[in-house]
Amino acid sequence: MPSQPLRTPVSKDRFSPLFSTLKTQVYHDPSIRGPGSHTIRSIAWNPTGHLIATGSADKTLRIWNPEKNQVKNSTELRGHTGGIERVAWNPTKEAELASVSSDCTCKFWDVRNKTCLATVQLGEPGFSVTWAADGSFCLVGLKVSFSAIYVFRFTSLHSGTVPTDHPPVPFRSNLQYTSTMIMAKSIQNDVLLPISLPDFTLGPPHRQDRQDHQINQVIFSQASPPRHIFLTTSDGSIKVCDFPSFNVLHTLYAHTSAATSLQLSPTGKYLATGGSDALIALFDTTDWISQRTLSDYVGAIKGLSFSFDGSYICGACDEGHGIDIYHVETGDLVHTVNTGYPVNCVAWHPCRYWLAWAGDPSGLKIVGAMGGQL
């Protein structure tokens, strides 16, 4: 899986003068009929940086070539009947994409062949999806008044059968379950095998106020095989859990209101968290102490992204009209991208200082894709 070569890191003092020279490319989707008709909810670069996926509220799932912004050079993946909530690429396969939707399904795609490899019926609207670094597991969160997580395990089996007489059973994070079995279907040469989850509780078992523990995002650690997962909660804390036991190892008190987003730096040194209190917190992953707080945003942080070298971070904010870029080691604000609109999602290129974002009614935009030395 050849990727683009990593660019040389740019120092804090040189970043803004160089980044400000980059031009912005617009990727206009033909499904746009006016303001609000094509709200992009999720964007994601594939592991090599040669493709970028967008998922929209109007159920459009499209794969773009960042160097060719005309829609004729893109691929539309059709099959969802509801809005796309989140898209995520398998980190080990440049053409395998997962998408979750409000139509209560999670779909796995081969984008080269425009083929849906498998559809998993979730029973409830999907809200988030994330992969383990080695592609061995995929977690899917459900958009419900309480939190549920599906766990799918992938193995490279070329033969054999998987029992399908039971539907997938969600893992309820605020209720106690013993040996909950997770089932799914075959995906070509990969098989989603049933696994068992021990008891796991994010609060008093069977508590009635389930909304208190709603999970907005889940991500894996960068270890291979995965050893930990990180979960945001609506009380503002972050749970660091063992995987696959789901035992809570640490609780990070990050925000005064709901924690809404998470991102690990590419170096693994920092865990960034965003909240509805308009703050971004950076935790050291060695001792889990908050190193600094970034506080220039004016609204809830809907998404976070580190640059490929881990030197810079920015957030998607549902208020304001810009993207603030911070230097991670100092917390200094080094540059602001003026967007003119609130931003729904942001994503740095995996190898370059290209920044993709969405929120503008015109669709996806990428700073740097029109050329430049970054």
Residue 3: its pLDDT value, please? Answer: 60
- Average pLDDT of the residues in 145-172: 43
pLDDT of 304 strictly over 50: yes
Rounded Cα distance between 217 and 238, Å, is 10
With residue 77 as reference, give the H or E element that holds it. strand 75-77
Q: Are 315 and 303 in contact (CB under 8 A)?
A: yes
Q: Which of 185-189, 228-232, 318-322, 358-362 has the lowest mean pLDDT?
A: 185-189
In this prediction, residue 33 carries a pLDDT of: 62
pLDDT at 152: 65
Q: How far is CA 161 from the centre of its chain?
A: 31
Q: What is the DSSP string of 138-197?
A: EEEEE-SSS-EEEEEEEE--SS-----SS----EETTS--SSEE----EETTEEEE--EE
% of the chain residues with pLDDT over 90: 56
Q: State the Cα–Cα distance between residues 67 and 149, nearest whole angstrom.
A: 36
Nearest 5°: the CA angle 347, 7, 342 is: 20
Q: Judge whether residue 158 has pLDDT over 70.
A: no
Instruction: Please provide the DSSP assignment of 295-318 as one string.
Output: ----S-EEEEEE-TTSSEEEEEES
Q: End-to-end CA distance of the chain, in Å?
A: 22
Of 55, 181, 205, 63, residue with least CA distance to 129: 55
Q: How many other CB atoms are there within 10 angstroms of residue 108's CB atom?
A: 25
The reported pLDDT for the residue numbered 204 is 28
Residue-wise pLDDT tens digits, 251-296: 999 999 999 999 999 999 999 999 999 999 999 999 999 999 998 8
- Kindly tell me if the per-residue pLDDT of 147 is higher than 80: no
User: What is the rounded CA–CA span in Å between residue 281 and residue 116?
Assistant: 38
pLDDT for 98 equals 93
Residues 185, 190, 194: CA angle, nearest 5 degrees:
50
- Residue 68 makes CB contacts below 8 A (sequence gap 6+) with none
Question: In the structure, what pLDDT confidence band is assigned to residue 371 with cuts at 50, 70 and 90?
Answer: confident
Q: Which of 90-94, 197-201, 239-243, 269-273 has the lowest mean pLDDT?
A: 197-201
In the DSSP assignment, the letter for residue 65 is B
What are the residues whose beta carbons fall under 8 Å from the beta carbon of 72, sequence distance 6 or more? Answer: none
DSSP SS3 for 18: helix
- Assess whether pLDDT exceeds 80 at residue 206: no
Q: Are 67 and 51 in contact (CB under 8 A)?
A: no
| Distance (Å) of CA 248 to CA 137, 144, 229, 240 | 19, 22, 9, 6
Backbone angles phi, psi at 188, to 5 degrees: 50, -120
Amino acid occupying residue 252: L
pLDDT at 155: 52
CA distances from 135 to 93, 157, 277 (A): 8, 14, 33
Q: Which residue has the tokens 């050893």?
A: 227
Provide the mean pLDDT of the chain: 81
- Give the whole-angstrom CA distance, residue 357 versus residue 342: 10
Count of alpha carbons within 13 angstroms of residue 3, beta-carbon side: 17
d(CA 86, CA 98): 8
Instruction: Extract long-range pairs of 67-70: CB within 8 Å, 24+ residues apart.
Output: 67/369, 69/25, 69/26, 69/27, 69/28, 69/369
User: What pLDDT, on a 0 to 100 scale, did the predictor assign at position 153?
Assistant: 66
Max CA distance (Å), the chain = 60
